[in-house]
Amino acid sequence: MHVDRLLTTGDAVTGVEVTTGDETHTITADAVVLATGGFGANEKLLTRYRPELSGYRTTNQPGATGDGLQLARQVGAELVDMKQVQVHPTVQQDTDHAFLIGEAVRGEGAILVDRQGKRFVNELATRKVVTAAIEYLDEKGAYLIFDQSVRDRVKAIEFYDHVGLVTTGATLAELAEKIGFDAETLAATVTTWNTAVATKHDGAFGRTTGLDRELTQAPYFAIHVAPAVHYTMGGVRINAQTQVLREDGTPITGLFAAGEVAGGLHGNNRIGGNSIAETVVFGLQSVAKLG
Strand partners, 23: 20
Give alpha helix (H) positions in 21-66. Answer: 43-49
CA distance 90 to 130: 9
| Least distance in angstroms from the C-beta of 103 to ligand FAD | 9
Of residues 162 through 191, those in contact with ligand FAD by CB under 6 A are none
Answer for which of 63, 164, 203, 206 binds ligand FAD (CB under 6 A) is 63
- 2 binding ligand FAD? (CB under 6 A): yes
CA distance 137 to 188: 20
Nearer to ligand FAD, 75 or 179 (CB): 75
Nearer to ligand FAD, 7 or 35 (CB): 35
Answer for which of 64, 101, 124, 196 binds ligand FAD (CB under 6 A) is 64
Q: How do the residues of the chain divide into helix, strand and coil, expressed in percent and rounded to 5? A: 30, 30, 40
Whether 127 is a known active-site residue: answer yes
Cα separation values, 186 from 114, 134, 140, 144, 205, Å: 10, 18, 19, 12, 17
What does R_g of the chain's alpha carbons equal in angstroms?
A: 23
Strand partners, 26: 17
Answer for which of 274, 280, 284, 288 binds ligand FAD (CB under 6 A) is 274
Give alpha helix (H) positions in the chain. Answer: 43-49, 67-73, 103-107, 127-137, 148-153, 156-162, 172-178, 183-199, 275-290
Of residues 225 through 244, those in contact with ligand FAD by CB under 6 A are 231
Of residues 66 through 85, those in contact with ligand FAD by CB under 6 A are 67
Answer for which of 100, 105, 130, 223 binds ligand FAD (CB under 6 A) is 100
Nearer to ligand FAD, 101 or 112 (CB): 101
Catalytic residue among 50, 106, 119, 127: 127
Answer for which of 6, 15, 36, 227 binds ligand FAD (CB under 6 A) is 36
Interacting residue ranges for ligand FAD, rule: CB under 6 A: 2-3, 35-37, 59-60, 63-65, 67, 100, 231, 259-261, 273-276, 279
User: Which residues does the annotation mark as catalytic?
Assistant: 127
